[in-house]
Chain A
Amino acid sequence: MKGKAFKFGDNISTDHIVPGRLAHLRSNLPELAKHVLEDADPTFAARVKEGDFVVGGNNFGLGSSREHAPLVIKMAGVSAVLAKSVARIFFRNAINRGLPVLICDTDKINDGDELEVDLKEGTIIDITNGNRLTFNKIPAAMLSILDEGGLMPYIKKNGDFKM
């Protein structure tokens, strides 16, 4: 996976990603997706391109259980979320939607850097500054879901939890 890094700070909440005031758009996902991360960076939705990365700091995705948060990030074309740490429900929701979340030292990545991520190798290469980072292994149970593209395809295939 190759793309540009969009850098955000610590504690990017689900309200930054899809604020409650837009709850009326949650059954109109294409419209909701136009507002992705609006309260963190109003220019993000217009600038992000297919394959790019959202790069957070600590505790990315804290707050609500709204699955619309990883869903609109994925709909924006983002291929993975990178963060120093991630909130529990967001992590599970992202994997359930087939959006990889990679825990790594994002201090070494600058906004706008070109990144190349190898999911199998567990590496992130920052092409812009030459840094090579590794990310924590995704737990086996979650990897089995991610490998199927998300929870629903996983359940369709297995008919049950096979962990």
Chain B
Amino acid sequence: MGKTLAEKILSLKSNTDVRAGDIVISPVDLAFVQDTTGPLTVREFLNNGFEKPANPAKTVLFIDHAAPSPNNQLSTDHITLRDFAEKTGCVLSDAGDGVCHQLVAENIAAPGDVIVGADSHTVTAGGIGAFATGMGSSDVAVAMALGKTWFRVPETIRVVCSGKFQKHVYAKDLILHLIGLIGADGATYKALEFAGETVDNMPIADRLTIANMAVEAGAKVGLFPSDETTRNYLKAQGREDKYQPLTADSDAVYERTVNIDVSELEPTVSKPHTVDNTALAKDLKGTKIQQVAIGTCTNGRIEDFEIAASILKGKKRHPATRLLITPASRTILKQMIKKGYAETLLDAGAMILPPGCGSCLGLHQGVLGDNEACLSTANRNFKGRMGNPNSFIYLASPATAAATAITGQITDPREVL
């Protein structure tokens, strides 16, 4: 009997033959933390008598959530991470480098890797065929110390995507639609595995967007096959040697299959306060938006700013709507400048924030006021997520976000083009 991608990766990595439901002890290729989970990880590590990570070069501390720090307490947390990196020789990615998940994709993750991060959106690297999942500080501290962790091998839901996207409909609309369809707990404890002709032709940026939100359906991982597109992505980064092809076996056993014809999708929006509370953008016309945020680990890549710039070119943001742009990495910010997107967005009235998590999690850089609504390209719209429980968050694609910034109300991008 064949294997799903999850079964295949965990079998290869652990050098055992494992199936859904089995418990596996697996080496980890990368263990990482970020600045809101890392200080607790460091304390757990040191307080329990560990001195050095098993693989310092495969242990990374990212400062991205509060970058640069908005207050003295978080600044002190940053010192904790910098000191630990210096003492143990593990890798530090400091404020301004970008969001951990983007940097992992750009520089580290490879197909077949097992990656654990103290951040739920660690699933992002599934877009390049890595078994990547979020864990808490203690789990990551132990993975750092021992160089391994335990998993229950997940059952898999296969998502088969066919057809071509209509103009101005994107991967983000697909993943929001899927979560609306199966629910915010529709894949709890399970792997989501993406396949089909649409996936075969899908660029890595889109795969990362989709994998990033697998956790919003409760999934342990969101996995894509590793194919020629993956090879070309790694090649462009000078890491072609890390490439290996990976596909699920044709006789793999799935818990169920969900079929989506993407040509039927329309611009989709998640309404407050859960990601599965989806609607079509055109049906939310008239919903006033005081802040539009484009960026984050979900949609802060150069392809996303290209889309936003193409819609905002020669236009102005609505005077009652603030427009925040947060590139997911320094590399992306430099590309934005080089390609002229930064100028286009600034001319449209945008603010460009430093590479990092920006306003997404309510620490700083765009905290919402009472009764304000934000339309964001991020991945989460929980009550209070952007720093104020008396505010409202809508999630959508960069195209819908750019169109909304122009009109000041939720707008189907097909209406402004």
Contact = CB atoms under 8 A, between A and B. Distances in A.
A21 B387 contact: yes
Nearest to B50: A155
Interface residue SS majority, chain B: loop
Contact of A66 (B73, B77, B80, B136): B136
B165 interface: no
Contacts of B138: 67, 93, 96-97, 150-152
B289 interface: no
21 contacts: A15-B384, A16-B382, A21-B362, A21-B387, A23-B363, A27-B39, A27-B40, A27-B76, A39-B389, A59-B185, A65-B117, A65-B120, A65-B134, A67-B37, A67-B118, A87-B185, A87-B218, A89-B215, A96-B139, A151-B142, A155-B146
B73 A62 contact: no
Interface of B: 23, 25, 36-37, 39-40, 44, 48-49, 65-66, 70-71, 73-74, 76-77, 80, 117-120, 122, 134-139, 141-142, 145-146, 148-150, 152, 184-185, 188-189, 215, 218, 220, 273-274, 361-363, 367, 380, 382-385, 387-389
Nearest to B357: A20
A155 B189 CA distance: 24
B120 A39 contact: no
A151 B80 CA distance: 23
A66 B71 CA distance: 20
Contacts of B274: 11
A65 B142 contact: no
A29 B44 CA distance: 13
B37 A19 contact: no
Given A26-B77, A67-B37, A139-B152, A89 B185 contact: no
A85 interface: yes
How many chain A residues sit at the interface, stated as a range, is 35 or more
A20 B135 contact: no
Interface in A121-156: 139, 141, 150-152, 155-156
- Which 9 residue pairs of A and B lie closest in terms of their CB atoms, listed nearest first? A67-B136, A93-B136, A24-B73, A20-B361, A59-B185, A20-B362, A65-B134, A13-B382, A15-B382
Contacts of A58: 185
A92 B148 CA distance: 16
A151 B140 CA distance: 11
Residue among B118, B119, B184 with max Cβ neighbours from chain A (10 Å): B184
Contact of A156 (B48, B73, B382): B48
Contacts of A156: 48-49
A64 B123 CA distance: 12
Contacts of B119: 64-65
Given A23-B65, A59-B185, A139-B152, A39 B80 contact: no
A30 to B, nearest CB: 14
Contacts of B384: 15-16, 19-21, 39
A89 B71 contact: no
A93 B274 CA distance: 22
B252 to A, nearest CB: 22
Contacts of B189: 88
A15 B139 contact: no
A26 to B, nearest CB: 6
Nearest to A94: B136
A23 B66 contact: yes
Given A24-B74, A59-B218, A161-B25, A85 B185 contact: yes
Nearest to B383: A39
Nearest to B274: A11
Contacts of B137: 67
